[in-house]
Structures are given as structure tokens and as C-alpha cells.
Amino acid sequence: MDNKENIYSLDHFLNNDEFIRWIIDSTPELDIQWNKFIKENPQAISNMNRAKEILQSVEMNSYSLSDHEKETIYRNLQHEFSAKKHQRKNRIFYRYAAASVALICLIGSLFFIYNQTRINQDELLVANDIKIDSTLTNIELITQSNKKVLIEKHPTIQYNSTGKVFVNDQETELTAKGEQADSELNTLIVPNGRRTTLILEDGSKVWVNSGTVLTFPTSFDKEKRTISVNGEIYIEVAKDVTRPFYVKTSNFDIRVLGTKFNVSAYNEDASKQVVLVQGSVQIENQQNLQAVMHPNELFSLNNGQQSIREVNVYDYISWKDGFLQFSSESLESICQRLSRHYRIKIHCDEESKKQKFSGKLVLFDDFSKVLTTLSDIIPIKYKQAKNEINISINNK
């Protein structure tokens, strides 16, 4: 047991492996250990109960298992199920963790030639022309004049209306001066294994996922607000009826006034998607085909074919909260998302990649915990060699 002063805090219990194991898959030994702790530390009971409620609020839905496997897993976890989750047999697991961002050094450089006082639309497409170096481990925030800043821990980057730039509430040397603030184009490079949050000068907030390049001006012009993305972002756009907001990707543009939505538009992915949480957006692709979206809808563009359907939007935005939620998603797709998040290659064999699963998976700091959880819950086996994981179905 941890005897530090924070042992009674909610955060302590949500990050304590033994406590999580006790809630998820208790053993007689863990029962004795934690019942003793409760007797000796009654002041911790309130936060322990709150942590238990949080852990039990996350479910894993039915999987493509044999009847025997289903019954075995269900019987082992049955006593931890939330009483209100009665629609179908669920596997519950949850650990509270968020991948913190630690930067060791800044490498590489970008230089953009710019000789105008205004930023045109073609220049904002530079995000689609930048390929992230596979060896890059640092988040890079680079200005048009090639200035950079060292960012430590999990960064929240903020631009204000005067051109000042803050990283975790500390003003940086990237602050633009005078007219430069109106013409400065910035590039945010988030390599695999990293995430960050960006607050634009108009107050719009952007969560930037792994493997993403985002370009944006220090200050938006008076007629419209435009950013460009190659990768995945979740954005809450500040409402401004006089200045529509545009998100440009390599395949389509999104026009909004004020709304919340997710864009997944990695150049290397065949399918590009937009999920609308709140408000309304208009999408125009390269063939000038327009689509208007409403809340709880998914727009998908795949090999030139576009479609719109209703979805559970949280399946597509849960990554910003530190875990993945998925519904009938192939193991191959799940592993692709994990591969970007953890900066590790994951290969599924032909049989396993076709399997579909539903549930929630916490993005632990330690990827080995993710693999252990997956192999405990679903019938897979894996082999790890250096920076590569091979996954197959466990037929035992």
C-alpha cells in the first residue's frame, strides 16, 4: 500500500493497479488486502466509492466468442457488473490514465516562403504536404519564420487576439509582433504517441490526435477563419456569425459557424470521416458535391463515395478523453488507432483482423497493460519483438 499523503484521493484510487484489479477481477487475497485498508483508513471510503462507480461505469459489450468462452468470462466478472447494464452480457474494465506528453528535445525544421500580408487558402493546405518523420518523438510548434518552442509535459497551447502565444499558461518566444501577428502561419506537428490541445485566437478549442499536422494563422482575418488538417482533430468552434469557420483536408472542406465535431482525415487512410456532435456543418468535396450534416451523424468519404448515417458520436471522440470506445469495429481498425497512439507497429493476421468488437479501452501509459487487458477479455494472443506486435486469434 502507498503511504503517501495522497492515498485518500480519488486520483490515487483511479491510478492504483491493485485497486483497479480488486474492482474488476477480485480475488480472496485482494479482498483481504482492501478490506483491511478500509478498516484502517475510514476517511478514504468516500473517494473509494466514487472511484468504484467510475470504474464500473465503463463496459465491454458482447464479442464473437464461443459459448463456453462467453460463460467463463461472464462468470469471472459477473460480481463486478453494474446493475443497470442489463441489455446484454458486458465485460467491464476501466483504468483511469491519460498519456502524458514529455518532450526531450526539438528536432527537424520547416520553413515556409511567404511574401504577402494575407494568408491565402492554398498556403493553408501545407498541412497536407507535410509528412511526419517516423523517428520524430517530439511535438513541434513552428512559426512561418521557423521559430520553435520547447514544450514540456502535456501541452495546452493558446493563442490570444493580441498575438501572444502561451504553453501551459506560460508566454513563449513565439509571440508575434505588430503586423506579423496578422500574417503569421503556424504549423503544429503531433507525432505518433503524442496528443495535445490548442486554443485558437478566436476561442475555438482543438484536441489534436497522434500523427496529425495542423496549420493555422496566429490571427484570423475579418471575413473567415480557416485551418488545415492532415490527421485527426476534435474541435469546438467558437460561434461567430460574421466569420464562418473552415476546416480544410486533402479531400474535402468543412464549413461551420459554431459547432462541435471530429475530423479524421489522415492522408494514408482510405476512409476520411467527419462526426458531428453539435450544430450543423456543410461539407464540399473535390467533385463539388455538398452534404449537410446534423448532430449524431457520420459523414464518410471512401474511394470517392460519400455517405451519411447516424452513429454513437462518442465512439469517434472518446480518444480526446484518454480511451477508445468502439462499436462493432474490426480488430484491424482498433489496432490501427492504437498503433498511432502508442507509436508502435501492430499487425493482425487474416483471421483476427476480421473480428469485430464493441466496448471501451483505456489508453494506459504502459501499452503492455492494454495488451494484457485485451488478451484477458477477448481471445487473442500476441508476440512482441522490439517495436512491433503481432496479433492472432487464440483458438485454445
On whether both 139 and 44 belong to a single domain, the answer is no
Find out whether 379 and 112 touch, Cβ atoms under 8 Å.
no
On whether both 199 and 277 belong to a single domain, the answer is yes
On whether both 301 and 336 belong to a single domain, the answer is no
* Alpha-carbon gap, residue 387 to 293, rounded angstroms: 40
> For position 277, what pLDDT does the model report?
96
Structural domain count of the chain: 3
- The single residue listed with the C-alpha cell 474511394 is 303
Find out whether 127 and 110 touch, Cβ atoms under 8 Å.
no
C-alpha cell at 300: 464518410
Q: How many CA atoms lie within 13 A of 33 on its CB side?
A: 13
* Alpha-carbon gap, residue 251 to 284, rounded angstroms: 9
- Does any domain span residue 345? yes
On whether both 273 and 129 belong to a single domain, the answer is yes
pLDDT beneath 70: ranges in the chain? 1-7, 11, 15, 24-25, 53-131, 133-136, 150, 152-154, 173, 175-183, 287, 396
| Burial of residue 327 (number of CB atoms within 10 Å: 0-12, 13-18, 19+) | middle
Candidates 377, 327, 335, 312; CA nearest to 357 is 327
Coil, strand or helix: which one is 137?
coil
The length of the chain in residues reads 396
> For position 131, what pLDDT does the model report?
64
> For position 57, what pLDDT does the model report?
47
> For position 106, what pLDDT does the model report?
21
* Alpha-carbon gap, residue 135 to 132, rounded angstroms: 8
* Alpha-carbon gap, residue 88 to 263, rounded angstroms: 31
Domain ranges, residue 242: 123-314
- Does any domain span residue 86? no
Residue type, 158: Q
On whether both 256 and 341 belong to a single domain, the answer is no
CB contact burial 161-174 (16+ within 10 A = b; e otherwise): eebbbbbeeeebeb
pLDDT tens figures, 225-257: 999 999 999 999 999 989 999 999 988 999 997
* Alpha-carbon gap, residue 303 to 347, rounded angstroms: 23
On whether both 67 and 147 belong to a single domain, the answer is no
* CA-based torsion, 218, 222, 202, 272: positive or negative: negative
Candidates 297, 291, 290, 256; CA nearest to 276 is 297
On whether both 187 and 238 belong to a single domain, the answer is yes
Mark which of 20, 50, 80 sits at the end of a domain.
Answer: 80
Instruction: Give kind and range of the element (H or E) at residue 369.
Output: helix 367-377
- Does any domain span residue 87? no
Find out whether 391 and 352 touch, Cβ atoms under 8 Å.
yes
On whether both 237 and 295 belong to a single domain, the answer is yes
